[in-house]
Amino acid sequence: MSAEVLAELGTRMVMAGHPDRRRLLGETDDVIRRKVWATAAAEMAPIVVVGEQLEGESAERAVAVQVDAWFGDLPPEADVIVAYEPAWAIGQPQPAPPEHIAKSTLAIRSLLKGRIDDPRIVYGGSVQAGTFSAIRQAAGRHSGAVPDGVFMARAGIDPDGFLTVVREVRQSV
């Protein structure tokens, strides 16, 4: 479906770059870049999913490559949401370690500085109740290491789990 049609239907956000789509559907860097650009050009916010494939791999290095390939010279005023979701954390019983998420969030903010005026960063990858609070605690005094929210899959399916996470994020902010 084209970005124009989605915009006409009232869509406000479109996801691009999810690791499962790259792995299962063979979406390339060029396809993701075109989706990000088409979404922004249609005045919708691209939710760009970034992160490393393998545990132990440098998140900063992996995200830098993705940002360069997918954002190009996207206008800095584009409304962009960056979802940090390491592929190795998807579908696992636990999210990535909170210290890793905080460190990666800080690195992503640094990578986006000067590229996107006001990026929002969320964390995804086996999010559950307690994830956001644990990240906030791990970030300590580095407010830039705390994501702006979370990106839920399984936890978002169960209404009680979803509302628990929403309350947690609201209380933490």
Active-site residue list: 18, 85
Short-list 60, 62, 54, CA closest to 17: 62
Alpha-carbon span 91 to 61, nearest angstrom: 23
Angle at 31 between CA 103 and CA 59, to 5 degrees: 15
User: Is 50 within 8 Å of 83 (Cβ atoms)?
Assistant: yes
User: Is 16 within 8 Å of 69 (Cβ atoms)?
Assistant: no
Alpha-carbon span 64 to 32, nearest angstrom: 15
User: Is 30 within 8 Å of 70 (Cβ atoms)?
Assistant: no
Q: Is 17 helix (H, G, I), strand (E, B) or coil?
A: coil
Kindly state the tokens that stand for 169: 């994020």
